[in-house]
Amino acid sequence: MKITLERLRYKGTFNKQGYKELPNGNVVNTNEKLFDFWFGYYKQSLSQSVSSNAFDFLKDKVTIIARHNDYFVQAMSDTSYSITLQAPNSKTYHVASINPDYEVNGYDTIVLSATGTTTTSN
């Protein structure tokens, strides 16, 4: 499959989990936006998916392609990073796996795992 800039039609947000202390002393989790990025959805045939993954692994997973960024690689081992996508997949995700492309103008293939948190648009 040829990957070109035209395939990157959707906008995602890369976040870092932070903490905020409320005036009453309680601490709440926050998602601090680090940057926006453009991505495209990566489609696999069912036979490719089954041969490379177990069915339970595929549940609540989305595979995307994006221009290479070292933050994506770091996010695979650090769950304090998350990615939020726009509709129709308005959820917060963690990086489950990544196939990084370190070449100039490379594209990463990223498998995202839903965290169960939905996002709301303002």
Q: What one-character-per-residue DSSP string does 36-105 give?
A: EEEEEE----HHHHHHHS-HHHHTTEEEEEEE--HHHHHHHH-TTEEEEE-TTS-EEEEEEEEE---STT
Q: Tens digit of pLDDT for each residue in 91-100?
A: 888 998 899 8
Cis before residue 100, ω within 30 degrees of 0?
no
Q: What is d(CA 118, CA 120) in angstroms, rounded to the nearest whole number?
A: 7
Quick one: which of 13, 14, 11, 12 has its CA closest to 81?
A: 14
pTM summary value: 0.71
Q: What is the mean pLDDT of residues 73-87?
A: 87
For the chain, the average pLDDT equals 80
Quick one: which of 52, 92, 59, 100 has its CA closest to 76?
A: 100
Q: What is the mean pLDDT of residues 33-38?
A: 92
